């Protein structure tokens, strides 16, 4: 149970105002996708990582670069290819003849924001080098641990098409990402605006809105958001509903439930609230839970997808009310 000092209204307002400025900055480049931008910022404030999966050319890398440009801090981009080695990600120890000693040369993962482009193009061994530091937030080379800078956010992209020569991320490793997002195609009006070049800028031209010190403060605020006792139980029941669904072979783990509540805290603060509501958990269940589900073979043969299963699971769980009662499940 949280024992943090409750948030004051000025703190909540400060958080919401800065989050709005960050979102506005990113939205000036990533046109027509405000909810995707909000969910990516939610992951940043919740100390999670983002996996962007979509077809080529819809702005996955642009979104990642825009977030990096908006925050003053170190950022690096790693283009994953089949010949990329783990040391190309984490770094390597080299013998310095001048000092007669070994020196650690950090890899591109030592940055506040790391863009891992087309992560499924690299070998599983190289993928593991990145996924390990995502979880541990340290890199171990030759038995020596090296902490990465804080805050630390990985935005990885992968294409669901052109799968020849790619290495699909295993479900156990997908669990390392707080949210999995799809940018999707823009609507007609937005696409016309893109063609005209109206208000479109390069992510590198974006002005920085904040720095890593302030982001660290906001992360601390998100950890102090109030969660009512019934909502803890509601989050657990949502996960349990996925485990008991007949089309699910492996449901959401306890780590997934923790990820959901952490994301809900940041999501509520972006909305200008110092407490979470059931709607926050329901809204975030898709991006937080869907990639953690492993469907049964029968469900895959029938063409059932994780999003459909998740909708059914959420609808089956009664929603708690402030009075302590519940709204009956929707069927």
What's the CA gap between 174 and 47, in Å, rounded? 16
264: left (phi over 0), alpha (psi -120 to 50) or beta: alpha
Radius of gyration of the chain (CA): 21
Of 209, 224, 239, the residue at which a domain comes to its end is 224
What's the CA gap between 304 and 302, in Å, rounded? 6
In the DSSP assignment, the letter for residue 178 is: S
Closest CA to 120 of 161, 89, 90: 161
- Provide the CATH number for the domain around residue 315: 1.10.8.80
User: 226: part of which helix (H) or strand (E)?
Assistant: none
Residue range of the domain that includes 21 = 9-224
Residue 297, Cα to own-chain centre: how many angstroms? 28
Q: Is 299 domain-assigned?
A: yes
**pLDDT, tens digit, for every residue of 163-195?**
556 778 877 778 889 999 988 888 888 888 777
- Secondary structure class of 72 (helix, strand, coil): strand
Start-to-end CA span in the chain (Å): 32
Q: Is 111 domain-assigned?
A: yes
Of 162, 197, 224, the residue at which a domain comes to its end is 224
304 and 172 in a single domain? The answer is no
211 and 290 in a single domain? The answer is no
**pLDDT, tens digit, for every residue of 265-322?**
999 999 999 999 999 999 999 999 999 988 888 888 888 888 888 999 999 999 987 7
Pairing mode, strands 144-147 and 138-141: antiparallel
Please check the confidence at residue 12 and state whether its pLDDT lies above 70: yes
Please check the confidence at residue 2 and state whether its pLDDT lies above 70: no
**Helix, strand, coil: what percent of the chain each, to 5?**
45, 20, 35
When the pLDDT of each residue in the chain is averaged and rounded to a whole number, the result is 87
User: 229: part of which helix (H) or strand (E)?
Assistant: helix 229-243
Give the pLDDT mean for 27-43. 91
277 and 215 in a single domain? The answer is no
pLDDT at 236: 96
């Amino acid at each position: 149970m949280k024992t943090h000092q409750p948030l004051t209204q000025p703190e909540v307002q400060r958080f919401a105002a800065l989050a709005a400025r960050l979102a506005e900055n990113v939205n000036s480049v990533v046109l027509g996708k405000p909810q995707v931008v909000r969910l990516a910022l939610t992951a940043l404030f919740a100390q999670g990582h983002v996996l962007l999966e979509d077809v080529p050319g819809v702005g996955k890398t642009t979104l990642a670069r825009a977030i990096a440009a908006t925050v003053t801090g170190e950022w690096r981009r790693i283009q994953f290819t089949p010949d990329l080695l783990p040391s190309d990600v984490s770094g390597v120890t080299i013998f310095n003849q001048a000092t007669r000693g070994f020196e650690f040369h950090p890899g591109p993962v030592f940055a506040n924001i790391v863009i891992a482009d087309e992560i499924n193009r690299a070998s599983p061994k190289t993928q593991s080098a990145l996924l390990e530091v995502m979880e541990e937030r340290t890199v171990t080379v030759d038995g020596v641990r090296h902490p990465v800078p804080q805050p630390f956010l990985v935005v990885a992209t992968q294409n669901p098409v052109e799968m020849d020569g790619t290495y699909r991320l295993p479900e156990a490793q997908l669990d390392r990402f707080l949210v999995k997002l799809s940018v999707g195609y823009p609507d007609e009006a937005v696409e016309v605006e893109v063609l005209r070049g109206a208000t479109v800028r390069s992510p590198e031209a974006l002005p920085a809105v904040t720095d890593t010190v302030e982001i660290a403060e906001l992360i601390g605020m998100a950890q102090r958001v109030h969660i009512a006792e019934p909502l803890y139980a509601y989050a657990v029941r949502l996960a349990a509903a996925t485990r008991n669904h007949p089309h699910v072979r492996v449901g959401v783990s306890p780590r997934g439930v923790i990820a959901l509540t952490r994301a809900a805290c940041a999501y509520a603060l972006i909305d200008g609230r110092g407490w979470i509501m059931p709607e926050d958990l329901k809204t975030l269940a898709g991006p937080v839970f869907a990639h953690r589900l492993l469907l049964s073979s029968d469900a895959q043969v029938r063409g059932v997808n994780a999003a459909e299963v998740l909708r059914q699971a959420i609808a089956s769980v009664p929603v708690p009310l402030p009075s302590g009662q519940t709204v009956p499940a929707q069927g």
